[in-house]
Amino acid sequence: MSNAAKTGLQPGHGPQSVDFINQFAETMRAESGVDLPHDYFVAEARMRLSGGGVHHLSGKAAKPAKPETSACFDAWAKAGHNG
């Protein structure tokens, strides 16, 4: 079974075609300035075309959770940095 048949994509140039998805993925890769594998951008292209969100190419970086102050102190104290 071909890769296109497994994923439900049709040959040609429609929005669900392998060629269209690959071209869209290459465009996204070029515009992003990020050096990630082609497969990553193929997945992003499929998500965009299906109406899903985009992981982290939107320009809005997710902020890391603020560490708990006591947890940081406990880790520091257990490491023997108490003086």
- Please name every residue paired with 10 in a beta bridge, in sequence order, or none if there are none: 17
Give the per-residue pLDDT at 50: 85
- For residues 38 and 74, give the distance between their C-alpha atoms in angstroms, rounded to a whole number: 43
- Per-residue pLDDT tens over the stretch 32-51: 988 899 999 999 999 988 88
Residue-level pLDDT at 77: 82
Report residue 66: phi and psi, to 5°. Answer: -70, 125
**pTM recorded for the entire structure:** 0.47
Of the chain, the end-to-end C-alpha distance in Å amounts to 66
Lookup: tokens for 75: 């880790």
- Ranges of each domain in the chain: 3-59
CA distance 11 to 19: 7
Report d(CA 16, CA 32) in Å as an integer.
22
Mean pLDDT over 10-32 rounds to 81
* Lowest-pLDDT choice from 9-18, 23-32, 71-80: 9-18
